[in-house]
Each structure stands twice: as C-alpha cells, then as structure tokens.
Structure 1
Amino acid sequence: MRFVIIGAGRVGLRTARVLRDEGHEVTLIEREEGKIRRARTQEFSVVEGDGSRETVLEEAGIANTDVLGALTGDLNVNFTACMIAKHHGCRTVMRIDEAYREEIYRKYANEVDEIIYPERLGAIGAKNALLGGTIRAVADVAPSLQIVELTVTDEAPVNGYTISELELPADATVLAFGKRDRELAIPSEDESLEVGDRLVVLADFEVLSEVRQLLVGESANQETATAGRTGGVN
C-alpha cells in the first residue's frame, strides 16, 4: 500500500516507521528543515512544502496514493489536505489534538474517514486508523512480530470452522477469542467461528497477509479499497 503522511514530527515519523517496517511505501511532506533532515537521515522520501497545497500533494504522488494521513499539529492544514486528498480518491485520516472541543470533532468527523487523537493513540493507533477495515494492530512485540485483532467476515474461508479446525501458518498463533459483542477469552477448541467474532493473533509480519486472508477473506489492498469506498468514521 502507498501512504502520504503530512508532518514529520514525532507522531508522523513514528507512524511512517511502523508502516515502512511492514513493507508499505511511505512519502512524507514537511516544511521545517530540521524535521526534513531527520526524516531523510532515516531514508524516507520527503517532499518539502505545505501539505495543504495541492501542488505539493501532487508532487508527493497523491494521485497514486491509497491513504493520506494529515498528522501535523495544525488543524487547518490537516483538514485542507484531507479535502484535497478526497478528490483524488484517497482514504483520509486527520489528526486533532485533545485541546480541541467536542463540537470541533463533530464538525469535521463527517468530512474525513477517521479522526485521531495521537496523544491517546500513539503510532500503533495512528497506523490502525490509516489501515482501516477489519484488522487492528494491538502491539508490536519485536521487529518481525505483531499482535493483531481480526474480525471474521462473510468472505472468510474459515467462517463456520471451529477453533480446532483452524490451521494458521506456522509463524502465527491464536492468543484470544471473542464472540460478537462479548469479551475476549482463552479460546476453546469447540468454539465456532462466525461473522463478527474476533481473534487476537501473534504473527510474523511475513505471514500477516495469509492470516488476514484466512480470517477476513481479503487482501490488504482490497481492504483499503473497501474502507475508502465506505468512508465511515469509527
């Protein structure tokens, strides 16, 4: 997947690193020289300029981008960038700070796909918002391991299986299971997998796509395309 992230500060750069480590393509937009140097030192592609300007977004490749994350500390820049990205068919995620009142949240919530408070979420939460859909990162355990929560869908090949019949790749393990709208617990072998059920899985990054295909029934690219079409706010 291809991401454009506006803002190479603490939130933007950490989120970019998490995405890149999972094999995604990331381009950053930043206007402060110090942040640009730091991002380029970490071998990121950086476009210098104001992310709320369409010419800058076009230079960053917005026309061929799946998701735009407007993660600066400037609400006006973030919102303007998201509106431009919407016209290019991108999924949009906009940062606002906790200092903003609830009415401001409601004002912008219907215009973008998702709004995040990075002070609460951190980089993992920001990545979840960018990815959207039916897979949610819970924690990065090691450079090659991640704990994810997945929701079973109609298209999942394992829909109707029991836990004992579930065969995940060798580098993936089920840690917890929860029926729809119920708390997660240690899985029982006789539990059946149905639409809306959730599984928490520890998996190597290299097999995450295969795990997703089994439990969700769609690839990463298909999931993002679906999220972009629905345009819902979580």
Structure 2
Amino acid sequence: MKVVIAGAGAVGRSIAQELLRGGHEVMLVERRIDHIDQAAVPAAVWVHGDACELELLEEAGLQDYEVVIAATGDDKANLVFSLLAKTEFGIRRVVARVNDPRNEWLFDASWGVDVAVSTPRLLASLAEEAVSVGDLVRLMTLRQGQANLVEITLPVDTPLAGRAVRTLTLPRDAALVTILRGGRVIVPQPDDPLEGEDELLFVTSVEAEEELRTALGVNGFRTTAS
C-alpha cells in the first residue's frame, strides 16, 4: 500500500515508522524545515512544502497513492489537505487527525474525510471504558460518521453469562467483532459462551446503537463526542 502523510512531527513520523514496518510505501509532506528529519525515517520519501498547495501535491504525484493521512497539528490544514486529496486526486481512503474535539463535527464526507481520529476523545473514551461496566462506550467513529466502534464490559452477574454468541439478538447493522477476556483476544464463534467481565467490541451503525444497547440490557450510553 502507498500512503502519504501530511505532517512530519512526532505523530506523523511515528505513523510512518509503523507503516514502513508493515511493508508499506510512505511519503511524508512537511512544510516546517525544523520538522524535516530524514534520518528519523530514512525509508520514507520526504517532501518539503505545504500539503495544502495543489501544485505541490501534483508534483509529488499524490494521484499515485492509495491512502492519505492528515496528521498535522492544525485542524484547518488537515481539512484542506483531506478535501484536496479526495476531490482533486480521488484518493480512496482519507484519514484525518482531529486536534481539537470541538472541530470534530467538521471532519466528515463534506471535507473528504473517511475516518476521523480524535486523540483527546479516544483517550477519554479508553479511560472511561476502563471503569464503565454495563454501559455502551463509543470508542471511535468510522466510515464518515456512519458507523462506530463501541464497547461494553459485561457485569460480573450479567444474565448473558453462559449464553452462546449465536443466541444474541443483535440489530441488523451491528456486528460483534472481538471479545476481550483477561489477556485473551477472542474472535467470536457462534457457540462461544459469554462470561461476566467480558469486554465486547462491536461495529455498529449510529442508528442501531440504541437497539444494540437494549438487546444487551445495557444501563446507559457514554460518549465523549462534542
């Protein structure tokens, strides 16, 4: 996979290193000369310039890449880069970093964003998830805001204990993707029994969240969305 990352600060470089370790091709675009550190990510292609400038992106050959990541520390720059990537270059997958949770509502399809990652919201959600038992916790927004990754930790005395996964009556647009049990990551099979204190991860549409909450007998719903 060929990926372009706008923003080569600590976040952008870390993402690039992970992708390169996975065998992907990476280009880093950075306008600040003090952030250009080719020695830190020598396997990446480095471009010095403003990722919001159409001419620069054309010269860099953005059209030849499959995925772009807007990872700068400026939400305005991330939005403009995302929009250019989607509308001018037809990039299939646009992932954007949200620095200020108050701006999260902007990061949707109208700005070319497929997936928005709000670090403050994600960290808050993970902290909340660690102590929220019996509540549905939204961890991440996916697919241009049309779906979410949500989590529920079953109470110790859950009435679902001992029931097979196949017996759950889930909404049409919700899927159980993982069960976290102790130190194990379980890919759920139809006959797997549920246990108290299981952490269940679902991908669900926004519209199906309330139905999912009811189906699981969840007490409440928690989100850190602004």
- Which of the five TM-score ranges fits, normalised by the shorter chain? 0.5 to 0.7
Letter in 2 for 1:17: Q
Unaligned runs of 5+ in 1: 123-128, 130-135, 137-177, 193-199, 201-234
Change (3 A) 1:182 1:116: closer
Structure with the larger strand share: 2
* Secondary structure, counterpart of 1:39 in structure 2: coil
CA displacement 1:156-187 (0-9 Å, x = unmatched): xxxxxxxxxxxxxxxxxxxxxx7643861557
What is the rounded CA distance, in whole Å, between the counterparts of 1:60 and 1:34 in structure 2? 20
Greater helix proportion = 1
Give the drift of 1:35. 1.4
Question: Take 1:121 and 1:58, find their aligned partners in 2: how far apart are those partners?
Answer: 33
Larger RCO (CA under 8 A, 6+ residues apart) = 1
Superposed CA offset, 1:97-142 (max 9, x none):
1x331xx3223323310111235669xxxxxx8xxxxxx9xxxxxx
CA RMSD after TM alignment:
3.5
2:2–2:67: 8 Å Cα contact kept in structure 1? yes
Once residues 74 and 88 of structure 1 are traced to their aligned partners in structure 2, the CA distance between those partners, rounded to angstroms, is 22
Give every structure 1 segment of 4 or more consecutive aligned residues whose post-TM-superposition deviation is greater than 6 Å. 187-190
Aligned residues: 140
Match of 1:54 in 2: 54
Q: Which residue of 1 aligns with 2:127?
A: none
Structure 2 unaligned regions, length at least 5: 124-141, 143-148, 150-164, 167-174, 193-200, 202-226
- For 1:30, the aligned partner's letter is E
Query: Deviation of residue 52 (structure 1)?
Result: 0.5
Larger Rg: 2
Q: In 1, distance between residues paired with 2:38 and 2:121? A: 23
Worse-matched range after superposition: 55-64 or 7-16? 55-64
Structure 2 residue aligned with 1:105:
104
Equivalent position SS for 1:51: coil
User: Superposed, which structure 2 residues align to 1:133-172 within 5 Å?
Assistant: none
Task: Tell me the secondary structure at the aligned position of residue 26 of structure 1.
Answer: strand
CA distance change for structure 1 residues 34 and 188 in 2, over 3 Å: closer, same or farther?
closer
Q: Give the partner amino acid of 1:96.
A: V
- For the structure 1 residues 17 and 107, does the alpha-carbon distance in structure 2 shift closer, same or farther, using more than 3 Å as the test? same
Identify the residue that residue 17 of structure 1 maps to in structure 2.
Answer: 17
Q: Percent identity?
A: 32
Quote the Cα distance in structure 2 between the aligned partners of 1:45 and 1:3: 10
Q: Which residue of 2 aligns with 1:181?
A: 176
Per-residue deviation, residues 71-90 of structure 1 (Å, max 9, x unmatched): 00111111111111113111
Q: What secondary structure sits across from 1:42 in the alignment?
A: coil
Residue 117 (structure 1) aligned with residue 115 (structure 2): no
TM-score, scaled relative to structure 1: 0.51
Answer yes or no: is the 8 Å Cα contact 2:19–2:26 preserved in 1: yes
Candidates 91, 94, 101, aligned match of 1:92: 94
